[in-house]
Amino acid sequence: MSKLIVFISACLVLQFTYTFGQNERVIRQLHSADQAVKADKFGKALKKYEKILKISPENKHALIGMAYTSSVIGQNQRTNAKKRKYYQQSMQYAQKAYQLSSMSTDANYMMALIKDKQAEFAEAEERIRLAKEMQEHANYTLKFEQENAGAYFLLGRSYFLLATLPFDSRAEVERGIPAQRALELAIENFQKAIKLDPNRVLYYYSLALAYEEDLKIDKALDAVNRALSLEPTPEDGGTSLIMRCQELKFMIN
């Protein structure tokens, strides 16, 4: 009996040592992947997060990392087909992270982010659903992270989606919120995002679009000029976003 106890104890020690070593390796790899993201090396980061998930398939940090890097890579694809492919991949990882921890602010933020990406290709009815779900996820994030600029931006995007629906779809939206009020809320939340993070081209560009929709041309021009004074990040769409800013400025003028 004593020999059995010794054997079991030895096995437990080996298991603990293996698990501890595995966890240490995962922590190092997560740090390396996060550093790649900070260096805007999203393709490299994607491979690192993917490698981690082979070892630890329910690692929430890696799942969110995969979702985020997939969305950024998708944002910078030239064709809609490739964009959709990466956005679909991003959603798969975001959903898994959310299923594992629906109370996680990071998981909720990622769900809002990727739903915004999907709304680019959605018809009116689908856009309504996505916008409302974005609001739920963004508001949940802001409940615990009141200074999360990205969450304010996504909340603004959700209202902008509702405010700019095709005319024949607005009646459905106005049962909950009038289009003009949705536009006002979009502007308010874009402004909050900018106050917290004043260096994002995407935030100013989105504010300019909202002002243009609200026929406030001077404010739209000021916002787009501010956007053009900043350096774009891959997360914002890189140089393609600058081109959109230039096109918007030309249209406003």
User: What would the pLDDT profile of 46-85 be if each residue is shown by its tens digit?
Assistant: 999 999 999 999 999 999 999 999 999 999 998 999 999 9
Average pLDDT, the chain: 89
pLDDT of residue 167: 75
What the chain holds in terms of domains, given with CATH numbers, is: 1-101 (1.25.40.10)
Query: What is the number of other CB atoms lying within 10 angstroms of the CB of residue 167?
Result: 8
CB 247, CB 227: distance < 8 Å: no
Structure tokens at 133: 């779900």
Lowest mean pLDDT among 11-15, 182-186, 211-215, 234-238: 11-15
Does residue 194 have a pLDDT over 80?
yes
User: What would the pLDDT profile of 128-175 be if each residue is shown by its tens digit?
Assistant: 999 999 999 999 999 999 999 999 999 999 999 999 988 776 666 665
User: What would the pLDDT profile of 17-38 be if each residue is shown by its tens digit?
Assistant: 334 445 788 889 999 999 999 9
